[in-house]
């Protein structure tokens, strides 16, 4: 029976007739009971399996009584930094503090600490010395082994060690969290829970660890960045739940961090169950006075139809978190969820999104994956689509048609991203046509990221000619439909492999396109991506070949400015970039030029002489006029 929101304080707990909670769930976000928020899914799946969960949202990390709301939980504490890594949430790529936090009531910044999972874990450990602590969420998942931390510019230890936690539940934790709860309930000590897929634990020795690959020690990683590159690629090759090996990272002769293989993907019925729980689908009412939680606006009338991504972009952490195997919900499950909100008084008739990491992936990329897993050293779409790739939009198309026919629905948008190279590989244009006809709100956002093949290769993206073919086809289909719809390309500056030469090429492309993006994403080195490994080590971990990496903040600013060369504020940076690239041919008055020469400043050189000459002439003219006026006045008096 749905009793509404889960408890957020002792009073709520007591009103349910509970004397204690099984798990106190400490989260860095506001409490939003919606399936787009990880803590909502984990707490609801525990509830569905008979466990009592109390939420402690955004506790005061300077006061250890803030995590004592329910007293000591019967089974343990769960800790999540939130839907985003707390450092990404707090800082821009230039390491400037952000002004707002969409996951906090009223969008207020500063309600969670930096490195939130670590701080919360230590806060709990100050009070409860032996109570089990299980950390999870994106922050813990991507920092589960030694990792480069961009914000401190250091190689950090596994977050398991620095947080004082006992276990990490990494990836999408529906399977592992229930197994952990069942093990604790059965009386197994948390230190003996070493057997669950999708978890990371500490070990004093390796006597009970079997079938494992031993990575370089933390000390070896710190001594040589190339060791880190090699270690990272071993991790990358073991992210698949079917073929992944157990990994061991030594920290001393008496301390090892052991990563079990990833948890198996959810079947469609299991996915349907996860999204069928009695979510309230909004933020806790206690936040109403503060103006609510801004993050709900984007997802309130959206549907998550899949998870996982076989796109394999090198700058994306999905491989380490959700994995490359696509998991989907049934049409019935999605229609049932849509029918919950299309009658909402605030629903205006627009379903904002039907997708996931990549909207148009609705099945594993090939038949063998659910038996053998994804290929370790091959990509499904890069550098070209694999010959075993199944390209089929029929199921997604049927789903969208069903959603369009629902009452109260005016339009069904797709905003979570179309993988255009996958779309171009489809010989049947039916989906492409209906995409343009029914699912675009005047402009379609796509992510070519760059136009230089040298940079695209380091990104794991298709050659630029694929994007060019896509734009041409998009234009033709819209013309046939009589629609004036545009493409909004997402572009990235300063990615590893991008020299000033490639940055200028991108600016020239935008010039020819007649387009200047309002927003540009400077490459952000977040934990557990191939691109971040390149950024830190200066090599591609797959080949160990050297990669040019723009790390100097000023150079990064120049590359970013080139993409927005029309902005007058960027003039000096663009001029400096063109000089550095030896492309002063792009400074002038011709149509192909990016910027014009700066006019001489007043008060110096030729400008000063012309200014002085002009003033002298004006002064002489003024004196002449005064003389003529005086003569006229004399004549008038005589008359």
Binding site for [4Fe-4S] cluster: which residues?
Answer: 309, 313, 316
Contacts for 236 with CB less than 8 Å, ≥ 6 apart: 319, 320, 530, 541
Distance separating alpha carbons of residues 441 and 582, to the nearest angstrom? 41
Contact 596, 589 (CB under 8 A): yes
Strands 255-259 and 246-252: antiparallel
Contacts for 131 with CB less than 8 Å, ≥ 6 apart: 72, 73, 76, 77, 124
Distance separating alpha carbons of residues 92 and 119, to the nearest angstrom? 21
Distance separating alpha carbons of residues 169 and 157, to the nearest angstrom? 17
Give how far Cα 61 sits from Cα of 53, 115, 121, 524, 614, Å.
21, 11, 10, 27, 67
Choose among 467, 475, 469: nearest CA to 448: 467
Q: Which DSSP letter does residue 484 get?
A: -
The SS3 assignment for 252 reads strand
Give how far Cα 155 sits from Cα of 89, 320, 480, 525, 534, Å.
20, 18, 54, 13, 14
Please enumerate, by residue number, every residue annotated as part of a binding site. Answer: 309, 313, 316
**Torsions phi, psi for 88 (to 5 deg):** -65, -40
Beta strands in 450-593 (DSSP E): 486-493, 521-522
Choose among 249, 216, 386, 243: nearest CA to 311: 386
Distance separating alpha carbons of residues 98 and 266, to the nearest angstrom? 36
Residue that has been written with the tokens 């160990």 in this structure:
544
What's the token pair of residue 581? 């690239």
Burial of 91 from C-beta contacts in 10 A (0-12 / 13-18 / 19+): middle
User: 10 Å Cβ neighbour count for 43?
Assistant: 25
- CA-angle at 174, arms to 200 and 292, nearest 5°: 110
Q: Inter-axis angle of helices 331-341 and 394-404, to 10 degrees? A: 30
Distance separating alpha carbons of residues 77 and 86, to the nearest angstrom? 19
Contacts for 374 with CB less than 8 Å, ≥ 6 apart: 240, 243, 310, 324, 325, 365, 380
Contact 148, 525 (CB under 8 A): yes
- CA torsion 119-123-125-126 (nearest 10°) is 130
Burial of 412 from C-beta contacts in 10 A (0-12 / 13-18 / 19+): buried
């Amino acid at each position: 029976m749905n009793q509404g929101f889960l408890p957020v304080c002792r009073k709520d707990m007591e009103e349910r007739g509970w004397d204690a909670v099984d798990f106190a769930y400490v989260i860095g976000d506001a409490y939003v009971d919606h399936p787009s928020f990880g803590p909502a899914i984990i707490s609801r799946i525990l509830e569905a399996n008979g466990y009592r969960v109390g939420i402690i949202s955004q506790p005061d990390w300077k006061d250890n009584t803030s995590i004592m709301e329910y007293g000591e939980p019967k089974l343990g504490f769960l800790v999540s930094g939130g839907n985003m890594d707390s450092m990404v949430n707090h800082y821009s790529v230039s390491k400037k503090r952000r002004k707002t936090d969409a996951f906090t009531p009223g969008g207020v910044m500063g309600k969670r600490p930096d490195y939130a999972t670590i701080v919360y874990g230590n806060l709990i450990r100050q009070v409860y010395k032996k109570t089990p602590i299980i950390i999870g969420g994106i922050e813990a998942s991507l920092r589960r082994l030694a990792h480069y931390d961009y914000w401190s510019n250091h190689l950090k230890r596994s977050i398991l060690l620095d947080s004082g936690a006992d276990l990490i539940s990494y990836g999408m934790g529906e399977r592992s969290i229930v197994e952990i709860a069942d093990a604790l309930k059965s009386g197994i000590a948390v230190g003996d829970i070493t057997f669950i897929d999708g978890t990371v634990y500490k070990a004093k020795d390796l006597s009970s660890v079997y079938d494992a690959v031993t990575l370089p020690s933390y000390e070896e990683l710190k001594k040589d960045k190339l060791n880190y590159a090699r270690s990272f690629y071993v991790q990358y090759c073991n992210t698949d739940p079917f073929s992944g090996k157990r990994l061991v990272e030594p920290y001393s002769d008496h301390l090892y961090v052991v990563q079990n293989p990833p948890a198996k993907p959810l079947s469609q019925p299991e996915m349907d169950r996860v999204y069928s729980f009695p979510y309230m689908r909004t933020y806790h009412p206690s936040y109403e006075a503060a103006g609510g939680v801004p993050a709900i606006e984007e997802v309130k009338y959206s549907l998550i139809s899949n998870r996982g991504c076989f796109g394999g972009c090198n700058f994306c952490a999905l491989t380490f978190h959700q994995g490359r195997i696509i998991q989907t919900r049934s049409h019935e499950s999605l229609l049932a969820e849509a029918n919950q909100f299309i009658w909402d008084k605030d629903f205006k008739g627009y379903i904002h999104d039907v997708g996931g990491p990549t909207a148009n992936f609705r099945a594993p990329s090939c038949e063998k994956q659910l038996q053998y897993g994804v290929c370790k050293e091959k990509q499904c779409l890069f550098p070209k689509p694999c010959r075993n790739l199944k390209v089929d939009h029929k199921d997604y198309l049927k789903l969208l048609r069903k959603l369009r026919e629902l009452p109260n629905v005016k339009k069904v948008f797709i905003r979570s991203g179309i993988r255009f190279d996958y779309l171009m590989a489809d010989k049947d244009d039916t989906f492409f046509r209906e995409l343009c006809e029914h699912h675009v709100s005047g402009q379609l956002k796509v992510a070519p990221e760059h136009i230089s093949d040298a940079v695209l290769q380091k990104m794991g993206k298709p050659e630029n000619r694929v994007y060019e073919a896509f734009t041409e086809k998009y234009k033709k289909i819209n013309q046939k439909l009589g629609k004036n719809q545009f493409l909004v390309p997402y572009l990235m500056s300063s990615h590893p492999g991008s020299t000033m030469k490639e940055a200028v090429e991108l600016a020239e492309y935008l010039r020819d396109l007649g387009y200047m993006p309002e927003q540009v994403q400077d490459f952000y080195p977040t934990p557990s991506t191939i691109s971040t490994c390149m950024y830190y080590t200066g090599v591609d971990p797959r080949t160990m070949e050297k990669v040019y990496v723009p790390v100097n903040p000023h150079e990064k600013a120049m590359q970013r400015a080139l993409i927005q060369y029309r902005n007058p504020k960027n003039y000096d940076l663009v001029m400096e970039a063109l000089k550095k690239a030896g492309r002063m041919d792009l400074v002038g008055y011709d149509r192909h030029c990016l910027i014009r020469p700066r006019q001489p400043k007043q008060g110096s050189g030729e400008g000063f002489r012309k200014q002085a000459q002009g003033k002298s002439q004006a002064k002489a003219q003024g004196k002449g006029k005064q003389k003529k006026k005086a003569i006229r006045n004399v004549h008038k008096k005589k008359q």
